[in-house]
Structure 1
């Protein structure tokens, strides 16, 4: 059992990941913005912790991470503007790194994005800024001395998982169900031997447990 701070607990990946972590016996502290979200998270088995990534500084993040063994960052601005992208997708992971280091937490997991995202199709304005921000956050985590894992999913689908994925350091671009992202994250968290690795993820035909087991060196 690990004590896990889940950042992005109410998002498309986070709210699917939470019950998997609880079911596995972990004690999850779930960061959220509104009181109503807190009630839902408590009902799901988490300890809710109210906080807004747009307002939290490194000290607040450090306080939130006290007593935790693992930090999972699955939050994202989801195209809601450059300010939010910079603060959530960019500074959010940087604050997570500082919080982990200050609290002696070695294990951190970051949901990022595959570099090919958006290629070959019309994308929203500022998409390149979003991708650059994601890459900068990845680079900051890789440069740290933490035992990090970065998961880069393809195009995220608003669907539950079907236990059929493709997972490797480098794979062709494709889509992936948010439920499959959550399932892979949960399995990675329960496989601490996998660390300091970047993996790309799409839907595929390999069961999650088998796909993750195949990554162990």
Structure 2
């Protein structure tokens, strides 16, 4: 088990991952900007990714870094770039300086893939996103790959489960972005995010970018129904049918099998 730093501990993914890391026996630190409740056995380090002193305190002596912190729910594109690219650069510099042998894992996003692709997104695809969030995450991936550290990246799909509110937000996203009911997303449950982080911490796919998905993509129409807020269907043609879809063949080649294979299985087991 490792002494590790988690960024983004209060976020949708981090708040569910951190207790699992503690339960797995890791000695955890969490970089937090304010007073938040943390699981027993976790040390909070007050500060952020722009604070060199906090970063030094956070990374000294760690054997691994799990970097989840990101900004995307804002229209302030400069803030997105500062958080996602500059923040990652600052964290990389701190690890290079104070914990150069630490394994560095970063969560990225499947939104980096071209919406007009001819197939589900693959790690070898050329990506050229224009929106600030995926563009900044792609740039951060490149920084990490060129850092000289031991690193890995997982591109996350639509993550859901355990009452996190993400699934419940889908009907609102339909109205906000005009999503087609037949638009289909790759998804993954929090349990499987934890599994993949565990694989990364074990060095299973060092030096690689991999996609995470479960066994079955889900339509917006189905997700709204799972959220208990059904929406109307549509027979209008679907533009860019592969947008939001990823191919997880590479990760499965490393032995990954989802514990929650489908959203339907999560609903059956009461873990939505």
| TM score, norm. by length of structure 2 | 0.61
CA–CA distance in structure 1, aligned partners of residues 148 and 46 of structure 2: 28
For residues 43-88 of structure 1, what are the alpha-carbon distances to aligned partners after superposition, in whole Å with 9 as ceiling and x for unaligned? 44311111133xx244542332111111110111132232331122
Residue 189 of structure 2 is aligned to residue 177 of structure 1 = yes
Q: Give the structure 1 partner of residue 90 of structure 2.
A: 95
CA–CA distance in structure 2, aligned partners of residues 49 and 78 of structure 1: 23
Q: Give the structure 2 partner of residue 30 of structure 1.
A: 30
Corresponding residue to 1:82 among 77, 86, 90: 77
In the alignment, is the contact (CA less than 8 A) between 2:71 and 2:133 conserved in 1? no
Corresponding residue to 1:199 among 206, 210, 215: 210
* Greater fraction of residues in strand: 1
| TM score, norm. by length of structure 1 | 0.76
CA–CA distance in structure 2, aligned partners of residues 44 and 184 of structure 1: 23
In the alignment, is the contact (CA less than 8 A) between 1:114 and 1:173 conserved in 2? no
From the CA coordinates, give the structure whose radius of gyration is larger: 2
Corresponding residue to 2:150 among 126, 147, 150: 147
CA–CA distance in structure 2, aligned partners of residues 116 and 146 of structure 1: 23
Residue 199 of structure 2 is aligned to residue 187 of structure 1 = yes
Q: Give the structure 1 partner of residue 169 of structure 2.
A: none
CA–CA distance in structure 2, aligned partners of residues 153 and 193 of structure 1: 17
Matched position secondary structure for 1:112: strand
CA–CA distance in structure 2, aligned partners of residues 87 and 152 of structure 1: 20
Judged with a 3 Å threshold, the aligned counterparts in structure 2 of structure 1 residues 89 and 10 are, in CA distance, closer, same or farther, namely same
Residue 226 of structure 2 is aligned to residue 214 of structure 1 = no
CA–CA distance in structure 2, aligned partners of residues 63 and 48 of structure 1: 10
In the alignment, is the contact (CA less than 8 A) between 2:48 and 2:54 conserved in 1? no
In the alignment, is the contact (CA less than 8 A) between 1:13 and 1:182 conserved in 2? no
Aligned residue-pair number: 188
For residues 70-111 of structure 1, what are the alpha-carbon distances to aligned partners after superposition, in whole Å with 9 as ceiling and x for unaligned? 111011113223233112211121112111110123300000
In the alignment, is the contact (CA less than 8 A) between 2:112 and 2:134 conserved in 1? no
CA–CA distance in structure 2, aligned partners of residues 142 and 195 of structure 1: 10
* Structure 1 unaligned spans of 5+: 121-125, 162-171
Matched position secondary structure for 1:202: coil
Judged with a 3 Å threshold, the aligned counterparts in structure 2 of structure 1 residues 9 and 175 are, in CA distance, closer, same or farther, namely same
